[in-house]
Chains A and B, each alone.
Chain A
Amino acid sequence: MLILHCPYCGVDADETELAAGGQAHIKRETVGSSDGDFEEYMFMRQNPRGVHFERWRHVNGCGKWFHAARCTTTLEVFGTYSAQTLRPPQDLLTHITGKRPGWSFSQWLETLS
């Protein structure tokens, strides 16, 4: 029963208020993409041990989607942020690297492909 801070309405929301939406920062592939790229976009998801970026919706609250950065092994939450971005905010990435020396967002992105 996670608690995540909704960056839109400011509520520390209990997991019962939230709906999980899977991995964040996926680039949409559409008409013109190769079969391989489309398959990757449509079906393939990472399930890393450690830092992960996820989509969540405050479904029984303000209804907004947001992103969360958390550790899948310790359940530590590094931060939540707007879903309307292609990249997590830099201060959040710095915070995560401080907590997990050696970790980088570019590495995480690479694991997606």
Chain B
Amino acid sequence: MSTRLATGGRHLDRATSVSFDFNGRKLKGFKGDTLASALLSNDQMLVGRSFKYHRPRGIVAAGPEEPNALMNLGQNGHFEPNARATTTEIFDGLTAQSQNHWPSLDYDVGVVNSYASRFMPAGFYYKTFMYPAPAWKHVFEPFIRKAAGLGKAPKERDADTYEHFYAFVDVLVVGGGVAGLLAAERAGKAGAKVLLLEQSAHWGGRAPVDGAEIEGRPADAWVTDTVDALENMDNVTMRNRCMGAGVYDHGYALGYERLTDHLAPQAAPRHRLWRIRAKHIITATGAIERPLSFAGNDVPGVMLAGSVRDYVVNYGTSVGDRTVVVTNNDDAYRTALILKDAGLDVPCIIDARPHGGGALMEDAKAEGIRVETGKAIAKVKGGKRVEGVALCAQAGEGAILEEIPCDAVAMSGGWSPVVHLWSHCGGKLIWDDAQAHFRPDPAKAPTGADGQGFVSVVGIANGAMSTGDCLTDAVKGTNAALQGIGISPKRTAAPQATEEPENPMAAVWKMPQGASYKLRSKMFLDYQNDVKVSDVQLAAQEGFESVEHTKRYTTLGMATDQGKLSNINGLAILADSLNAKIPKVGTTTFRPPYHPISMGAIAGEASREIFQPIDKTPLHQWGEENGAYWEPVGHWRRAYCYQRDGESVEQAVNREVKATRESLGLLDASTLGKIIVKGPDAGKFLDMMYTNMMSNLKPGKCRYGLMCSENGFLSDDGVVARMDDDTWLCHTTTGGAARIHAHMEEWLQTEWWDWKVYTANLTEQYAQIAVVGPNARKVLEKLGGMDVSKDALGFMEWKEGKIGGFDARAFRISFSGELSYEIAVPASQGRAFWDALLAVGEEFNVTPYGTECLHILRAEKGFIMIGDETDGTVIPQDLGLHWALSKKKDDYLGKRAQQRDHMTDPNRWKLVGLETVDGSVLPDGAYAVADGTNENGQRETQGRVTSTYYSANLGKGIAMGLVLNGPDRMGEVITFPKVDGTEVQARICDPVFYDKDGEKQNV
């Protein structure tokens, strides 16, 4: 059993007991425990079920590489799935539940999958796609959906807050082990501005656990002194619990700091995302131990050898009473020696190397530990817990020599440098045959803006395998990095470290060498996704030769641990199956983040109301107080309608439509874009921007204009008013102002930069109110001031002056077909002007109306709306807007494109009106069907609905649409199938439904 030892545990505060809840059970640990160490001390080795076969899984590692111990943490708004027990520090009141099992961790129904495992080989998911469709729908999909997913999705909104920090430094050091500490110290002493990040809560990394001595003292003492020295340097910032998450272009890096995860829920931000720009990045990210592939290497109780000693030394926790060590290198002997020293039994060290190890092996033998060289584990006995191992010859096929009872296995397949950060931005790797791992290729660093490498790797992450080599490498790498950014390093030698010398390791990719299929199908590579040696071999047999394809086919390395343990072992098996060299097979791509980071940290402060600030017009508040039913339009909120007491949205819209046509309506049109275009060449410029002529517009006049993209498609429309000789005011669609202003600037700055034109977006400087209806003139006359009579201010004219004491520009334009004035006043006067209109308009039943009424009024008149009649594939010619395409101009944006053969195709769908035979409202976006079917068996189509409304004025549904040869088919009835399976017939008609001769707007 795993248990708490009486002594030891350098991270523990044994005086402070902590209680927490695991699967509803109250457990106790100490301050300083991780959830993993606390569970182990409570003999909770079984922590989850695997993804596919629901095999029982125990804790394998002690750090972020842990694949099995994933927990649902916290409750309600603090709930988080897939948290690693090995990186979760416990606190009083912590709640954790294991994942992926039903009904309970101990008795899991899904384990039957394990017995069906031969029906779920590599590529199982993809193979199911090939069966007949009904099998997929009724058999496989429900099964896979039930099996899919490890943690539960949170149900409540995240109750925590998050923040971003920005840092600009000379040197970013990632990793607070001895190499990283030394690098930071050297850079700090040289005067560089340094940021040092360590993902765990503790400085010093592995060296103190591994028993190294630095400068003749235990590594712990050196670490303490160095941390003290660093803390006293003003130019050095140190953050622990802060992971270097990603390295990006030009020295950009992300740090992920877990501020309060180790505490009960706090008012303070939970995570902090550091957005760092560094002149140089030094990664001292250490190495991760590889598992060995033997049958049953996933049985709870089989753990990485380095992690076994982490638990003993750091947490005073033994993984088992009797631990067999299995290895291909000398380092694992340290685990045996530490276990022995802690008074625990090590029945045997199984070393796959024919001649075993060096000095450490001799130490182990001197301690009386049995060492078997050239041997392997044939298989692990036990189900939910290791009961023993079967010994065999590594060179053989697995004939069992002896069974050794034990309750834990410490395995070591060698160490792989953590090269992720180096690789994120393009650093290349080389294969080191002696250590059987990939390490950074110093000749191929990721390059920055100056073309020079901006990332260096030091320590074991760079392949320096001993503590002494790590320190030497850190000094060498830091000095070179400092010189590269123009800082002179202090010339002092690296501290000396003493360690026992080691014999070379030997690559062992499966155990035993000639293992049968039966054994290979129990050798797990990827614990979380249940990928076995036999799966990778099958993938290779089936032709998946690229490592990227094999990954996706088998799901190797695709779990939440992203292959931290499984990648090298997997690709070694793949290389072996393909009879290729490992470097030839290569690695999959390392992508940030190194380890999952929270979505909250990515969002930072930008959530809730400040996620996307809302634009509000000067009349927004009035709408809030008067029943506005809002809809988002761009970043604006516009009133869809204003509901009065007890009214439905539909009733409000119908009331507004009738009141406006019959008497007087008011629309908040402030959101329409208002761009001033000014200068000697402004007219020439607008002639290029608009399809029609704007240069010949007279001051005081207005003209409706169309804008196209260079590709010919309609992009925006609006009324242009000429202010004076060299000034035009261009109205754009709501939400189009910034886009059209940018479009104008792009052409001015990059194509016609010698034209003398100035533009300014004045949209938010004005409140604009449309005064609409037969009584529009009367209400303005009642306010008094400007002469707004037909003779003084004709249709499509504008004037500046005072109306009711307000500074006003009145535009006689109409988007409704009624007598209409759009009146702009300075934004600060908007609300007062609106209130004045409401007051004097009372006798005319003045009715504020919203966007839906606006739409209905314009649709009754057959006016197009950008975004309804247009969708980026529609040209003015499709909409019968030939009259707005100037024939006098040599050029305008889109003219050449509109001459391309597809644009001039007579079979383009064209705008028509549509009225249903039964008077009902056509569904929006419905397609009209034609005879025959296409190659997919779908009905051919001949048109679609672009705008459709109920017109209260006409008492029926009206619509516009684009129809094949539509204008030539007036009166013809076409059929629109509806979503509910029924059909509706509509007659093609003129799109102008109301006041065809336009008499009402011109009075």
**Chain A residues with a Cβ under 8 A of chain B:** 1-3, 14-15, 21, 28-31, 33, 35, 38, 42, 55, 57, 59, 63-65, 71, 74-77, 83-84, 99
Known: A31-B891, A75-B449. A42 touches B250 (CB 8 A): no
Shortest 3 CB-CB contacts between residues of A and residues of B: A76-B451, A1-B252, A84-B753
In contact, A29 and B896 (Cβ under 8 angstroms): yes
In contact, B711 and A42 (Cβ under 8 angstroms): yes
Contact of A75 among B448, B745, B751, B890 (CB under 8 A): B448
In contact, B449 and A3 (Cβ under 8 angstroms): yes
- A and B contact pairs by CB, cutoff 8 A, 22 listed: A1-B248, A1-B249, A3-B250, A3-B251, A21-B746, A30-B896, A31-B890, A31-B891, A35-B901, A38-B897, A42-B710, A42-B711, A42-B897, A64-B749, A65-B749, A71-B451, A74-B451, A75-B448, A83-B750, A83-B753, A84-B750, A99-B451
Chain B nearest CB: distance from A55 CB in Å?
Answer: 7
| Distance between Cα atoms of A78 and B878 in the complex (Å) | 46
Per-position contact with A for B241-263: 1 when CB-CB < 8 Å, else 0?
00000001111100000000000
Q: Which residues of A contact B753 (CB under 8 A)?
A: 83-84
In contact, A75 and B749 (Cβ under 8 angstroms): no
Question: Which residues 757-782 in B have Cβ within 8 Å of A in the complex?
Answer: none
Q: Which residues of B contact A3 (CB under 8 A)?
A: 250-251, 277, 449
B899 CB-CB contact with A under 8 Å: yes
Question: Which residues 387-442 in B have Cβ within 8 Å of A in the complex?
Answer: none
Chain A nearest CB: distance from B873 CB in Å?
Answer: 15
B375 CB-CB contact with A under 8 Å: no
In contact, A1 and B896 (Cβ under 8 angstroms): no
Q: Output the nearest chain A residue to B899 by Cβ-Cβ distance.
A: A31
Known: A42-B710, A42-B711. A65 touches B896 (CB 8 A): no
Chain A nearest CB: distance from B756 CB in Å?
Answer: 13
Chain B interface residue count, Cβ-Cβ cutoff 8 angstroms: 28
Number of A-B contacts (CB under 8 A): 66
Q: Which residues of B contact A31 (CB under 8 A)?
A: 890-891, 895-896, 899
**Chain B residues with a Cβ under 8 A of chain A:** 248-252, 277, 447-451, 710-711, 742, 745-746, 749-751, 753, 890-891, 895-897, 899-901
Q: Which residues of B contact A99 (CB under 8 A)?
A: 451
| Distance between Cα atoms of A55 and B897 in the complex (Å) | 22
Contact of A76 among B447, B749, B899 (CB under 8 A): B447
Q: Which residues of B contact A29 (CB under 8 A)?
A: 896
In contact, A75 and B891 (Cβ under 8 angstroms): no
Q: Which residues of A contact B448 (CB under 8 A)?
A: 75-76
In contact, B447 and A75 (Cβ under 8 angstroms): yes
Known: A33-B896, A38-B900, A42-B710. A2 touches B450 (CB 8 A): no
In contact, A35 and B900 (Cβ under 8 angstroms): yes
Chain A nearest CB: distance from B576 CB in Å?
Answer: 33
In contact, B249 and A2 (Cβ under 8 angstroms): yes
Q: Which residues of B contact A74 (CB under 8 A)?
A: 447, 451
Chain B nearest CB: distance from A99 CB in Å?
Answer: 7
Contact of A65 among B249, B746, B891 (CB under 8 A): B746
Q: Which residues of A contact B897 (CB under 8 A)?
A: 38, 42
Q: Output the nearest chain B residue to A82 by Cβ-Cβ distance.
A: B753
Q: Which residues of A contact B895 (CB under 8 A)?
A: 30-31
In contact, B250 and A63 (Cβ under 8 angstroms): no
| Distance between Cα atoms of A71 and B33 in the complex (Å) | 49
* Given pairs A21-B750, A99-B451, 18 additional interface contacts (CB within 8 A): A1-B249, A1-B250, A3-B277, A31-B891, A31-B895, A31-B896, A35-B901, A38-B896, A42-B710, A55-B750, A64-B749, A65-B745, A71-B451, A75-B250, A75-B447, A75-B448, A76-B451, A84-B753
Chain B nearest CB: distance from A49 CB in Å?
Answer: 13
Q: Output the nearest chain A residue to B745 by Cβ-Cβ distance.
A: A63
| Distance between Cα atoms of A11 and B891 in the complex (Å) | 37
Which of A14, A59, A64, A74 gathers the greatest number of chain B CB atoms within 10 Å?
A74
Chain A nearest CB: distance from B850 CB in Å?
Answer: 32
Q: Output the nearest chain B residue to A35 by Cβ-Cβ distance.
A: B900
| Distance between Cα atoms of A3 and B897 in the complex (Å) | 36
Q: Which residues of B contact A64 (CB under 8 A)?
A: 749
Q: Which residues of A contact B891 (CB under 8 A)?
A: 30-31
| Distance between Cα atoms of A61 and B78 in the complex (Å) | 38
Chain B nearest CB: distance from A84 CB in Å?
Answer: 4
Chain B nearest CB: distance from A67 CB in Å?
Answer: 9
| Distance between Cα atoms of A64 and B896 in the complex (Å) | 27
In contact, B250 and A83 (Cβ under 8 angstroms): no
Q: Which residues of A contact B447 (CB under 8 A)?
A: 74-76
Chain B nearest CB: distance from A21 CB in Å?
Answer: 8
Which of A1, A3, A84 gathers the greatest number of chain B CB atoms within 10 Å?
A1
In contact, A28 and B900 (Cβ under 8 angstroms): no
In contact, B711 and A76 (Cβ under 8 angstroms): no
| Distance between Cα atoms of A5 and B711 in the complex (Å) | 31
| Distance between Cα atoms of A99 and B601 in the complex (Å) | 40
Q: Which residues of A contact B900 (CB under 8 A)?
A: 35, 38
Contact of A2 among B250, B746, B751, B896 (CB under 8 A): B250
Which of A15, A31, A77 gathers the greatest number of chain B CB atoms within 10 Å?
A31
Chain A nearest CB: distance from B252 CB in Å?
Answer: 4
Chain B nearest CB: distance from A113 CB in Å?
Answer: 18
Chain B nearest CB: distance from A73 CB in Å?
Answer: 8
Chain B nearest CB: distance from A100 CB in Å?
Answer: 10
Contact of B751 among A15, A28, A57, A59 (CB under 8 A): A28
Q: Output the nearest chain A residue to B753 by Cβ-Cβ distance.
A: A84
Q: Which residues of B contact A84 (CB under 8 A)?
A: 749-750, 753
| Distance between Cα atoms of A14 and B251 in the complex (Å) | 11
| Distance between Cα atoms of A14 and B900 in the complex (Å) | 40
Q: Output the nearest chain A residue to B254 by Cβ-Cβ distance.
A: A1
Q: Which residues of A contact B251 (CB under 8 A)?
A: 3
Q: Which residues of A contact B248 (CB under 8 A)?
A: 1
Contact of B249 among A21, A35, A75, A83 (CB under 8 A): A75
Chain B nearest CB: distance from A62 CB in Å?
Answer: 11
| Distance between Cα atoms of A35 and B751 in the complex (Å) | 21
Q: Which residues of B contact A33 (CB under 8 A)?
A: 896
